[in-house]
Amino acid sequence: MPVVEFSKRRGVGLIRVDNPPINALSQEVRSGINEAVTGGIADPDVSAMVILCAGRTFIAGADIREFGKPPVDPSLPEVIECIENSPKPVIAALHGTALGGGFELALGCHYRIAAPGARVGLPEVKLGLRPGAGGTQRLPRLVGVEKTLKMIVEGDPVPADEALAAGALDEIVEGDLERAALEFAARVVARRRPLRRVSELDLPAVDPAVFDEFEKSIRRKRRGFLAPFHCIKAVRAATEMPFEEGLAYARGLFQELVASPQSRAQRHVFFAERAAAKIADLPPDTPTRSVESVGVIGAGTMGGGIAMCFANAGIPVTMLETSQENLDRGLGVVRKNYERSVSRGSLTQAEMDARLGLIATSLSHDDLRQADLVIEAAFEDIDVKGDVFSKLDAVCKQGAILASNTSYLDIDAIAAFTRRPQDVVGMHFFSPANVMRLLENVRGAKTAPDVLATAQGVGKTIGKVPVLVGSCHGFVGNRMLSKRTREAYFLLEEGALPQQVDRVFQDFGFPMGPFAMADLAGLDVGWRNRKANLQKLTRREQACNILDQLCEQGRFGQKTKAGFYRYDDQRKATPDSDIENLIVEHSAARGIDRREITDEEILERCLYVMINEGAKILEEGIASRASDIDLVWIHGYGFPAYRGGPMYHADEVGLSAVHEALLKYARQCGHEYWQPSALLERLAKEGRGFSEAG
Ligand code: 3H9
């Protein structure tokens, strides 16, 4: 079957693209459209043309898999030029998601109509790119500079009604899209409506300060990313250059970005997210259980955040607590979070009310009888979990999924408190649960396939990136984090200071370094964990007790205004000379001669130690793909997306270089901490990377 078909309906040429799953603009599609439009122009029986798509969506963009390969003609800008220059009107009929190159193609048409549920957008920035086929030059001519900047720099699609109001669409049509498009085309011809070439429209004058202000507004949030700033430059060019010149300039920026390591890394993340949705050893059609009501045990920070995730997705949720006071406090925090969104303008009052209306509270397990899914977010203690899960086992209906939000504990031990271990799964959210996108779903030895498939599906429904992992202490994320934390403390006693370590992390692209992060999370949490596991630690780990010393002074981090840093009322951190003295004295007491530690050593030791742990996690089958580990770190711990995640980063550095560094640090710091994983060692010897480990 050809991917582009041309047919004639009463004088209108109908160009239908059929390239599942998302009608990407592969070379075949581009040349198919080009030929169809050229044919339509030449055909005396054709007076107008309609471009529409089969399947679930209009063209959702260029074919990302073609990027990085030698380009094959016709290029998308050429196809769009052919459409726009057509002497006969061309109408785009949109449904589903008209994104990226697909939306740019529609902008090259003379008219655009859409089905009511359609969404349009230019999400290239999320792939480390900027629109490369005229979007930056045409969109501002239709919707103005401010709206264009928002759409292109944030990259989020907008619904058809918003696009219509902004001027990007001409009409929203009800009913059968093909019929409506043919009628629209016939009307354009009958009324001799002029060809509306967007490139010929004047761009309203704009104050150049808009660009500087926009750049300022994203500087902090998009620190380190190239693409958002390139997007601003390209839109600015539309206001400063004639159309053709602006187009060429913007195309140059696109080519530069496509070839950049950042875009390659972000494309890796795009495909990693799609791969993670699939469960490696289960068929894609594994049935799922329906989840229409949810219970959450615990209304603390985690429980409240989890409840918000479901309410945000329109799913009713009941929060259960042991006292009315706890419930009131928990619900109060949820309300405050929503109020903050309303005051920022990201949520309307009506949406807030609707979401709060979906959150019920209860003091009785009986109220969870009918829940399809219950997520326990109680205190991290196996006896507490035991109590919760035996109660759930007693009251919940058959077939309900019983999930634990535990960060460290053994899922099988938790499942053993019930008579239905097949229904028990880990669903590990990251704090703040309503914000962080990672959901680490943990598979128990007996978890049923449909429970796994449901947990993954639920994750997607509530807008998370679900990653399925096996059960071990700390699962993927916290297990790797614990190695990084250990190394960061060793660096302190060898000569570094918290502010140096944190700066190195920030320079690499993390939003904050390990010590600032520990202060934010609360040092007492790590301290409690350390005390509980002290006997399992090595002699050096036990003796490296800087954390104990801070906590013994009541320095628990931001909440006590003192931790590794001192905090003012606005929570602004300042390095503290008391901490420097404490660390220097600690080194002296341990007989360690402090030395100058380079930024490179800090970065390598902290990253490579966790990459090595990631390799062991892969080796043990706790993660099924290296790219799953990348997602855990990007969406759960702030690893910069433009570096593709720790395992991708290791491949970029080269595993043989990483392996050599592991051996060097083993000699320098102790073999027990730096034993290379067998997998990493093998791949390094074979000259391969984790992405090829499969
Ligand atoms: C661009 O257009 C550049 C231009 O400015 C300039 C060019 C010169 N290419 O997400 P799903 C695959 S850049 C190739 O699970 P959904 C995806 O990997 C592009 N493949 O479905 C998956 O494959 P598999 C700008 C693609 O219903 C399958 O399709 N456009 C592409 O949840 C289903 O995907 C974008 O950035 C692609 N462009 O969501 C839009 N897109 O089954 C990117 C998807 O083997 N796409 N695949 O795993 C999306 O946002 C979502 O896919 C979409 C559908 C919302 C469309």
Residue 274 Cβ inside 6 Å of ligand 1? The answer reads yes
pLDDT at 693: 80
d(CA 213, CA 197): 30
Number of residues that this document lists for the chain: 694
Outline where 370-497 has alpha helix (H): 382-395, 411-415, 449-461, 477-494
Least Cα distance to 628 among 643, 612, 617, 620 occurs for: 617
Residues whose CB falls within 8 Å of the CB of residue 570, separated by 6 or more in sequence, listed in order? none
Distance 609 CA to ligand 1 centre (A): 34
Kindly tell me if the per-residue pLDDT of 679 is higher than 70: yes
3-state secondary structure of 339: helix
Cis peptide before 432 (omega within 30 of 0): yes
pLDDT at 299: 95
Give the mean pLDDT of 391-413: 96
Tokens of residue 34, six digits: 């080009």
Identify the residue whose tokens are 């991290």: 380
pLDDT at 48: 98
Give the pLDDT confidence of 445-495 residue by residue, as tens digits. Answer: 999 999 999 999 999 999 999 999 999 989 999 999 999 999 999 999 999
Kindly tell me if the per-residue pLDDT of 200 is higher than 70: yes
Q: Which residues are catalytic?
A: 104, 124
DSSP 8-state assignment for residue 475:
T
Give the pLDDT confidence of 298-348 residue by residue, as tens digits. Answer: 999 899 999 999 999 999 999 999 999 999 999 999 999 999 999 999 999
d(CA 653, CA 655): 7
Give the mean pLDDT of 67-83: 94
Q: At what angle do helices 227-240 and 209-219 cross, to 10 degrees?
A: 170
Least confident segment among 113-122, 374-383, 658-667: 374-383
Residue 154 class from Cβ within 10 Å (0-12 exposed, 13-18 middle, 19+ buried)?
A: middle
Residue 99 Cβ inside 6 Å of ligand 1? The answer reads yes
Residue 155 Cβ inside 6 Å of ligand 1? The answer reads no
d(CA 683, CA 694): 11
Least Cα distance to 134 among 89, 77, 82 occurs for: 77
Kindly tell me if the per-residue pLDDT of 694 is higher than 70: no
Mutate to test the pocket of ligand 1, among 64, 156, 251 (most ligand atoms within 8 A of CB): 64
Cβ atoms of residues 250 and 130 within 8 Å = yes
| Beta bridge mates, 429 | 439
Cβ atoms of residues 330 and 457 within 8 Å = no
What pTM was computed for the model?
0.95
Cβ atoms of residues 504 and 602 within 8 Å = yes
Cβ atoms of residues 401 and 321 within 8 Å = no
Give the mean pLDDT of 541-545: 97
pLDDT at 525: 85
Q: Band of the pLDDT at 248, cuts 50, 70, 90? A: very high
How does DSSP assign 424-470, residue by residue?
A: EEEEEE-SSTTT--EEEEEE-TT--HHHHHHHHHHHHHTT-EEEEEE
Mutate to test the pocket of ligand 1, among 66, 274, 279 (most ligand atoms within 8 A of CB): 274
Cβ atoms of residues 104 and 80 within 8 Å = yes
For the chain, the first-to-last Cα distance in angstroms comes to 33
Q: Which amino acid is at 159?
A: P
Kindly tell me if the per-residue pLDDT of 380 is higher than 90: no
Residue 137 Cβ inside 6 Å of ligand 1? The answer reads no
d(CA 96, CA 58): 6
Residue 62 Cβ inside 6 Å of ligand 1? The answer reads yes
Distance 58 CA to ligand 1 centre (A): 11
Identify the residue whose tokens are 């795009």: 270
Q: State how far Cα 660 lies from the chain centre.
A: 32
> Which phi and psi (to 5°) does residue 22 adopt?
-125, 20
Residues whose CB falls within 8 Å of the CB of residue 522, separated by 6 or more in sequence, listed in order? 556, 557, 558, 559
Mutate to test the pocket of ligand 1, among 17, 19, 22 (most ligand atoms within 8 A of CB): 22
Residue 416 exposure: Cα atoms within 13 Å on the Cβ side: 8
> Which phi and psi (to 5°) does residue 586 adopt?
-60, -45
Give the pLDDT confidence of 168-192 residue by residue, as tens digits. Answer: 999 999 999 999 999 999 999 999 9
Cβ atoms of residues 214 and 153 within 8 Å = yes
Kindly tell me if the per-residue pLDDT of 353 is higher than 70: yes
pLDDT at 71: 86
Name the percent of the chain in helix, strand, coil, to the closest 5: 55, 10, 35
| Beta bridge mates, 112 | 92
Residue located nearest, by CA, to atom 51 of ligand 1: 60
Distance 99 CA to ligand 1 centre (A): 9
Cis peptide before 575 (omega within 30 of 0): no
DSSP 8-state assignment for residue 168:
S
Residue 471 Cβ inside 6 Å of ligand 1? The answer reads no
Distance 176 CA to ligand 1 centre (A): 25
User: CA 463, 611, 544: angle at the middle one, nearest 5?
Assistant: 105
d(CA 182, CA 171): 13
Distance 97 CA to ligand 1 centre (A): 10
Cβ atoms of residues 474 and 481 within 8 Å = yes
Residue 61 Cβ inside 6 Å of ligand 1? The answer reads yes
Least Cα distance to 402 among 378, 424, 369 occurs for: 424
> Which phi and psi (to 5°) does residue 298 adopt?
105, 130
Q: Which amino acid is at 233?
A: K
Specify the ligand 1 atom closest to the Cα of 122.
25
Residue 65 Cβ inside 6 Å of ligand 1? The answer reads yes
Q: Strand 294-297 and strand 373-376: pairing?
A: parallel
pLDDT at 1: 82
Distance 61 CA to ligand 1 centre (A): 7
Residue 123 Cβ inside 6 Å of ligand 1? The answer reads yes
Specify the ligand 1 atom closest to the Cα of 123.
36
Cβ atoms of residues 334 and 324 within 8 Å = no
Distance 122 CA to ligand 1 centre (A): 12
3-state secondary structure of 28: helix
String of b and e for 394-408 (b: at least 16 CB within 10 Å)? ebbeeebbbbbbbbb
Least Cα distance to 565 among 604, 612, 514, 608 occurs for: 514
Residue 127 Cβ inside 6 Å of ligand 1? The answer reads yes
Specify the ligand 1 atom closest to the Cα of 57.
56
Cβ atoms of residues 330 and 321 within 8 Å = yes
Residues whose CB falls within 8 Å of the CB of residue 140, separated by 6 or more in sequence, listed in order? 148, 203, 235, 238, 239
Distance 1 CA to ligand 1 centre (A): 21
Q: For residue 660, count other CB atoms closer than 10 A to its CB.
A: 13
Q: At what angle do helices 227-240 and 261-276 cross, to 10 degrees?
A: 120
Q: Provide the sign of the torsion angle of the four alpha carbons 636, 638, 641, 646, taken in this order.
A: negative
Residue 465 Cβ inside 6 Å of ligand 1? The answer reads no
Give the pLDDT confidence of 413-450 residue by residue, as tens digits. Answer: 999 999 999 999 999 999 899 999 999 999 999 999 99
